[in-house]
């Protein structure tokens, strides 16, 4: 069977099976602008240490939170568990994920969900916590090819992170985990200070995350700086 036929068959099976496989298949078919992570794999309570550290870094008990790449809603519910009095807004680029997330949080009027591929249009300095967890990565880079630009580009990462960072209020935190790029390579990082980095570097399936520089060339798999950053100005 030709490769294209095999791929089409695999996508058809994923659409029929539903769940996260359907979300991934829809992303592969639609390929919306500014798509980083096509795979929709998620689960509840994946980042308890990170959420607890973010909570400790805040001075408010009722924060406003933006979950960028919220997938089908498990992350939103996990955030609710850590931040019981928060106002939470989730965005995801995948229309199937957005529909599932809205159903998952339908009983919580303080959680909203919208379809978006970046933070353009969101009010600046309006969130105490902004999360982007396993969003800025791609499975095609798991084998650490020497360059990432056939799949992802640093310029797109920096543009998207810049918009997210500007949504953080001074004193608020940006939480980035398992990215194929370093936040500190972005110009906007000058407005932030590290709260906590050095979390376990293994990502999905225990794989180390290859890291690429501003020139889209491979740096390695251990030079990691992702974690929690506080906006200072």
Kindly report, residue by residue over 102-125, the tens digit of the pLDDT.
999 999 999 999 999 999 989 999
Q: Tokens 């918009």 correspond to what residue?
A: 163
* d(C-alpha 48, C-alpha 63), whole Å: 17
What's the pLDDT at 74? 95
CB 191 within 8 A of CB 141: no
pTM for this prediction: 0.85
Average pLDDT, the chain: 87
* Residue 198 pLDDT greater than 90, yes or no: no
Q: Is 115 helix (H, G, I), strand (E, B) or coil?
A: strand
What's the pLDDT at 79? 97
CA angle, 152 then 210 then 218, to 5°: 70
Orientation angle between helical segments 48-57 and 74-82, nearest 10 degrees? 50
What's the pLDDT at 38? 78
Question: Which tens digit of pLDDT belongs to each residue from 145-184?
Answer: 999 999 999 999 999 999 999 999 999 999 999 999 999 9
Sorted by where each begins, the domain ranges of the chain are: 1-31, 33-231
Per-residue tokens: 47: 């980042």
Q: Which CATH class is domain 33-231?
A: alpha beta
CB 73 within 8 A of CB 51: no
Question: Which tens digit of pLDDT belongs to each residue from 50-76?
Answer: 999 999 999 998 999 999 999 899 999
Orientation angle between helical segments 19-30 and 95-104, nearest 10 degrees? 150
Q: Which of 6-20, 35-49, 122-136, 174-188 is predicted least confidently?
A: 6-20
* d(C-alpha 99, C-alpha 154), whole Å: 30
* Residue 15 pLDDT greater than 50, yes or no: no
CB 123 within 8 A of CB 163: no
- Over range 74-84, report the average pLDDT: 96
* d(C-alpha 193, C-alpha 29), whole Å: 39
* d(C-alpha 169, C-alpha 134), whole Å: 22
């Amino acid at each position: 069977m030709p490769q294209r036929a095999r791929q089409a068959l695999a996508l058809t099976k994923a659409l029929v099976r539903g769940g996260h496989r359907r979300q991934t298949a829809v992303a592969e078919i639609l390929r919306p602008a500014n798509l980083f992570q096509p795979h929709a794999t998620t689960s509840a309570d994946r980042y308890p240490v990170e959420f607890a550290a973010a909570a400790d870094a805040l001075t408010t008990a009722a924060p406003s939170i933006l979950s960028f790449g919220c997938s089908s809603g498990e992350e939103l519910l996990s955030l609710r568990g850590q931040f019981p009095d928060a106002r939470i807004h989730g965005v995801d680029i995948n229309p199937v994920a957005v529909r599932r997330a809205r159903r998952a949080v339908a009983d919580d009027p303080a959680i909203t969900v919208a379809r978006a591929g970046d933070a353009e249009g969101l009010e600046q300095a309006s969130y105490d916590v902004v999360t982007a967890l396993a969003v800025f990565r791609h499975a095609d880079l798991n084998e650490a090819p020497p360059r990432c630009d056939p799949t992802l580009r640093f310029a797109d990462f920096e543009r998207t992170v810049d918009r997210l960072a500007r949504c953080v209020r001074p004193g608020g935190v940006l939480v980035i985990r398992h990215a194929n790029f370093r936040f500190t390579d972005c110009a906007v990082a000058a407005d932030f200070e590290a709260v906590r980095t050095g979390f376990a570097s293994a990502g999905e399936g225990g794989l180390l995350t290859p890291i690429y520089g501003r020139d889209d060339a491979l740096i390695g798999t251990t030079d990691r700086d992702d974690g929690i950053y506080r906006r200072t100005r």
